[in-house]
Amino acid sequence: MTSADKLFARLLKRPTLPAIEASAPLLAQPLGLHLQLDNDGHVLQMAGPLRHSLAQQPPHDQPLPLQRYVLAHSTLTIEGQPGDWQGQSLDLDFLGLADQTLHLRGWVQPWAGGWLLQLMDIGDLLLERHQAHSREECQAVAGQISEHLRACSLSRLPVIVSEQLQTIAQRWHMPCVALALLDEQEEGWQIHRQFSAHDAPQLWQNNQRLGTVLDSLNGSAPQRLAISHGLDEHLRVQDLFGNAEGFAVPYSDDHGVAAWLLCGFYPVHEHAPDLSDRDWLLLVSALAGPLLGRLREQHHHLQLERLESLQVLLGTGWWEAFGASDEILLAPSLAATLHLDSARLTLDDWLLQIHPADREEMRSRLHALQQHDEPLTLCVRLHRCDTEHHPLWYRLQGQAIGTGDSRRLVGFMLDISDIKNQQQHTAAAHARLDNLIASSPAVIYVQRYVEGALHPTFFSASLQPLLGWSLENCDAAALIERVHPEDRDRYFERTRHLLREGSVRARYRLRDSHGDYHWLLDEAKLLRDDLGLPVEAVGLWLDVTEATLAAEQVKQSEERYRMLVEDSPAMICRYHPDLTLSFGNRPLAMYLECEPEQLPGMNLGNWMSDEQREAFLQRLSLLTPEHPVSTAEINLQLPGREHAWWVWSDRGVFDDQGRLLEIQAVGRDNTDVRRSQQQLTQSAKMATLGEMATGLAHEINQPLNVMRMAIVNVLKRLSSGEVQIDYLTDKLNRIDAQVQRAARVVDHMRVFGRRSEIEQHPFNPVDAIEGTLALLAEGMRGKGVELRVSETGFTVQVRGYVDQLEQVLINLMVNARDALLSKQASDREFKPWISVYAERDAQSVRLWVEDNGGGIDPRLLERIFEPFFTTKPVGVGTGLGLSVSYGIVENMGGRLSVSNSVEGARFCIELPVIQDD
């Protein structure tokens, strides 16, 4: 075989064929198809295993030209005689068995007075190239769809979605395509947008409700084929696709399956055989992911607008002061309510808005809050000339949050004018009532008992000024007519109760001479004779109209405040120091999957692990009357959910002796944020594994080569008969050592790629250095980078995740390697090195990663840990490595910093040491 033939065989990844002598007969060949041709191109003889796959075999009597065996489109390649084809690469397609096409590539060479055509099967190469082209095209379409959806305005979002569905349908020849989204309010599926070709039936309509029909599909699979023909067990799916073949692709996020791409009248294996499940999932992710993000963002903005409207309607708003500054920041709605030109003002300007009678008390309380963290709770009046008779009252509350430079004073102002004014009106009404009773303004009456009925016989003179009636106008029948229709049943029950029990107290409305109704408090006592028979009833009427209306308004105001707690989106509750709930609002009950009435008596610790419960109780034990507030992130195992994270703020309630009586808590769900952080960390970890693939392959190939050489040497000794037990034992021990070495690398890759544990655990950071070097050392040395690792003579424990610390070290070392290799490309004399060492003191341990790459531009040091910030060329790196590393170290209670040394960059990972109790 010529050198060109050998090169072609290597390109095809086929073993090299033995050279055929010119005078050798055409024997059976081990690979491919070999054709003996005469000088006119007629097939004289066939050999090779592929000859059995041809649909047409050569006849025994008459040789046929080569053009009779190949397909029509290949005849242009073999025009002329075999001598004209010499030195050319021939791509020929033969008709195989079962109408299959054999794609072969080969060349001709002289042989025995004629020609020998040697052919190899290249069908798998063509298939891989076609699939790769389809995959690249799918990724390009997905990228364009995602870019359009993210860049368009919210008003044009439905139009853009329809256009992208049309793009998908036209590219892959789909008659009908639609995107179905989960309607959380209706608890069913809905067609968000659809597209149908002009010559295809329209299966769906925009905004068409599908109910739960898509729930019958298996959303956990990468994709689901729903072919309606003959599927009696999937009648609901048949309702969705009709009598045509249907294809459905799910999109899943943190909430589960949130969208489906529906393709109707579409046999996917015929129209898109080159697209894999992964390609379809990529396509629907590019369409549904940005769309759901934009829709949820719009929903979030609507929620904020509703909350702002609620604050305006309730006349409330927040205020905030920063540290020792006298600058106050008010909520925009509160500033507008107070008729202020700006939401930012000084403390003195804010105090000028308060009535002088309340101003100094408010100043003193604010000073106590600022200096001594004493909680602020105060009711103040606004200083307005137009509200002297009806002052505007506000409830002012505040507390201190944070420490040091981040310390802030936060609180809220709530309009309680209705309550205060009603309280004043109620107090005035009570004063008038007391004065009325003192001067006998109450209506005193006497009713005589006659044959089972009570008839009025006397009213005091105060009846005239109160109701405008006289005794002549108030007989039994007339009195009943003047009782409010809604209160007559109550009045009759009052009479029966008086006759049965001997005394009664009732409240009902009575109409006066002007047609207005008065609320009367009726108190009466039945007088009996010596025989115990009823004689008469003596009682009085008190006009309690104002008090009753005031109480009703107070009740309505209380209902508004109760709604503020019950309907708040935050979880609000009270519980005892042993974590037993005494109250919880509806959002908390929804998270715990129970009714609010079932919350009292439940224990919050039931949803925590032992370690979480111990940490929670330890944090509560640190609450004091001087520092009653504590905020932390807690982890719970809720019903139906694997894990949930809440940002939880507790405020202790203490008695006069400083004993903790109860805890008031407010929380919000932080699960989505935490899972997004975990997903980002895991994605960065898998990307790191991908970047290290070449080095790891070299690390595994090394022990394989050693084992192979040992086996070859043993086989040579065995073949020569020189068998020595000591020699064989030494070789077997060497093979066993190399097997263990490769197993350690593979096992560490598996452990590193696994998801991190939910809770942090103590570990030695030196283990993370060893694990990092096990994955990177050989790859670094293979690229000419010297590793300088200092031995650590101490054992220390930190709390966190050892695999995530390995990821941080890998990110730092890989970044250093890239910078060093880039510098070496321009300076061949440059000797790159990376230094890794550790040191500790009583409180912390520090891991250093240093290189001699020249350092980082000082102007970029402040931005080096920002997400998506990178100094690498476009398409190289995502800019997330250092940002994710910074978040990992910070989550472990440490700090990641960078500085420039004399020769290069110097990164420091500082972690707190677990102190021995």
DSSP character string of 734-785: HHHHHHHHHHHHHHHHHHHHSPPPSS-EEE-HHHHHHHHHHHHHHHHHHTTP
Round to whole Å and give the CA distance between 29 and 120. 12
451 domain-assigned: yes
Of 551, 583, 612, which residue sits at a domain end? 551
* Residue 164 pLDDT greater than 70, yes or no: yes
Round to whole Å and give the CA distance between 249 and 154. 25
Output DSSP code: residue 406: G
Convert the pLDDT of each residue in 745-803 to its tens digit: 565 555 554 454 556 778 888 888 887 887 777 778 878 888 888 866 678 888 887 87
Co-location of 386 and 333 in the same domain: yes
Instruction: Work out whether strand 786-789 and strand 833-840 pair parallel, antiparallel, or are unpaired.
Output: parallel
Confidence band, pLDDT 50/70/90 cuts, at residue 241:
confident
CATH of the domain at 65: 3.30.450
489 domain-assigned: yes
Co-location of 826 and 688 in the same domain: yes
Q: Indicate the SS3 state at residue 605.
A: helix
Beta bridge partners of 224: 248
Give how far Cα 32 sits from Cα of 11, 51, 118, Å. 15, 8, 7
* Residue 524 pLDDT greater than 80, yes or no: yes
Round to whole Å and give the CA distance between 810 and 488. 85
Co-location of 735 and 864 in the same domain: yes
Neighbours of 237 (CB within 10 A): 19
- Predicted confidence at residue 747, as pLDDT, reads 54
Give how far Cα 287 sits from Cα of 149, 204, 431, Å. 8, 18, 71
Kindly state the average pLDDT of the residues 60-67.
81
Output DSSP code: residue 80: S
Contact between 118 and 89 (Cβ < 8 Å):
no
* Residue 719 pLDDT greater than 90, yes or no: no
Contact between 53 and 32 (Cβ < 8 Å):
no
426 domain-assigned: no
- Predicted confidence at residue 277, as pLDDT, reads 82
**Under 8 Å CB-to-CB from 42, ≥6 apart: which residues?**
63, 64, 65, 66
Indicate the Cα dihedral angle 527, 530, 533, 537, nearest 10°.
-10
Contact between 287 and 261 (Cβ < 8 Å):
yes
CATH of the domain at 238: 3.30.450.40
- Predicted confidence at residue 656, as pLDDT, reads 87
Confidence band, pLDDT 50/70/90 cuts, at residue 662:
very high
Convert the pLDDT of each residue in 280-308 to its tens digit: 888 889 898 898 888 888 888 888 777 77
563 domain-assigned: no
Where in the sequence is the domain holding 631, given as residue range(s)?
Answer: 568-669
Report which secondary-structure segment, H or E, holds 506.
strand 503-511
Q: What's the distance, CA 734 to chain centroid?
A: 50
831 domain-assigned: yes
Co-location of 691 and 778 in the same domain: yes
Round to whole Å and give the CA distance between 89 and 104. 10
Contact between 879 and 868 (Cβ < 8 Å):
yes
Co-location of 79 and 189 in the same domain: no
* Residue 16 pLDDT greater than 90, yes or no: no
Output DSSP code: residue 483: B
| Tokens matching residue 136 | 């690249």
Among residues 435, 485, 483, 489, the alpha carbon closest in space to that of 456 is found at 483
Round to whole Å and give the CA distance between 681 and 753. 11
3-state secondary structure 22-61: CCCCCCCCCCCEEEEECCCCEEEEEECHHHHHECCCCCCC
CATH of the domain at 649: 3.30.450.20
* Residue recorded with tokens 């005239």: 464
Neighbours of 621 (CB within 10 A): 10
- Predicted confidence at residue 226, as pLDDT, reads 41
Contact between 491 and 480 (Cβ < 8 Å):
yes
Indicate the Cα dihedral angle 72, 74, 76, 82, nearest 10°.
-120
Beta bridge partners of 865: none
* Residue 910 pLDDT greater than 90, yes or no: yes
Co-location of 455 and 538 in the same domain: yes
| Tokens matching residue 765 | 């950071």
- Predicted confidence at residue 833, as pLDDT, reads 92
Indicate the Cα dihedral angle 622, 627, 629, 635, nearest 10°.
-20
Round to whole Å and give the CA distance between 258 and 288. 8
Q: What are phi and psi of 841, to 5 degrees?
A: -135, -160
Instruction: Work out whether strand 844-851 and strand 798-800 pair parallel, antiparallel, or are unpaired.
Output: unpaired
Round to whole Å and give the CA distance between 237 and 241. 6
Kindly state the average pLDDT of the residues 118-130.
80
What is the dihedral sign for C-alpha 536, 539, 545, 551? Answer: negative
Round to whole Å and give the CA distance between 559 and 83. 101
Co-location of 619 and 718 in the same domain: no
Round to whole Å and give the CA distance between 259 and 470. 77
Number of domains in the chain: 6
306 domain-assigned: no
| Tokens matching residue 620 | 């509560």
Among residues 172, 205, 183, 193, the alpha carbon closest in space to that of 280 is found at 172
What is the dihedral sign for C-alpha 568, 570, 571, 577? Answer: negative
| Tokens matching residue 15 | 């073993």
Contact between 176 and 194 (Cβ < 8 Å):
yes
Round to whole Å and give the CA distance between 772 and 748. 10
Neighbours of 527 (CB within 10 A): 12
* Residue recorded with tokens 């202020």: 340
Least confident residue range of 57-61, 255-259, 640-644, 824-828: 640-644
Q: What are phi and psi of 615, to 5 degrees?
A: -65, -35
Confidence band, pLDDT 50/70/90 cuts, at residue 440:
low
Confidence band, pLDDT 50/70/90 cuts, at residue 268:
confident
Convert the pLDDT of each residue in 483-508 to its tens digit: 999 999 999 999 899 999 999 999 99
Give how far Cα 50 sits from Cα of 54, 55, 120, 123, 717, Å. 7, 11, 9, 13, 40
Co-location of 690 and 641 in the same domain: no
What is the dihedral sign for C-alpha 40, 45, 48, 50? Answer: positive
| Tokens matching residue 445 | 């009456």
* Residue 145 pLDDT greater than 70, yes or no: yes
- The fraction of the chain above a pLDDT of 70, given in percent, is 79
* Residue 875 pLDDT greater than 80, yes or no: no
Instruction: Work out whether strand 895-900 and strand 571-575 pair parallel, antiparallel, or are unpaired.
Output: unpaired
Co-location of 744 and 845 in the same domain: yes
Of 389, 421, 453, which residue sits at a domain end? 421
Report which secondary-structure segment, H or E, holds 621.
helix 610-621
Q: Which residue has the higher pLDDT, 96 or 535?
A: 535
Q: Indicate the SS3 state at residue 440.
A: coil
Contact between 767 and 805 (Cβ < 8 Å):
no
- Predicted confidence at residue 22, as pLDDT, reads 42
Least confident residue range of 51-65, 447-461, 886-900, 901-915: 51-65
Contact between 884 and 878 (Cβ < 8 Å):
no
Co-location of 591 and 631 in the same domain: yes
Give how far Cα 54 sits from Cα of 41, 58, 125, Å. 18, 10, 20
898 domain-assigned: yes
| Tokens matching residue 307 | 């909350």
470 domain-assigned: yes
Convert the pLDDT of each residue in 319-373 to its tens digit: 888 766 778 888 887 888 788 888 888 888 888 888 888 889 988 988 888 888 8
Co-location of 416 and 484 in the same domain: no
Of 268, 300, 332, which residue sits at a domain end? 300
* Residue recorded with tokens 């440490």: 894
Contact between 618 and 604 (Cβ < 8 Å):
no
* Residue 869 pLDDT greater than 70, yes or no: no
Convert the pLDDT of each residue in 370-408 to its tens digit: 888 888 899 988 887 666 667 888 888 888 888 777 788
Co-location of 790 and 870 in the same domain: yes
- Predicted confidence at residue 699, as pLDDT, reads 59
Q: What's the distance, CA 324 to chain centroid?
A: 37
Round to whole Å and give the CA distance between 655 and 576. 13
**Under 8 Å CB-to-CB from 190, ≥6 apart: which residues?**
180, 181, 182, 183, 207, 208, 209, 210
Round to whole Å and give the CA distance between 648 and 630. 8
- Predicted confidence at residue 18, as pLDDT, reads 44
Round to whole Å and give the CA distance between 300 and 309. 14
- Predicted confidence at residue 484, as pLDDT, reads 92
Total residues found in the chain within this entry? 917
Round to whole Å and give the CA distance between 167 and 144. 10
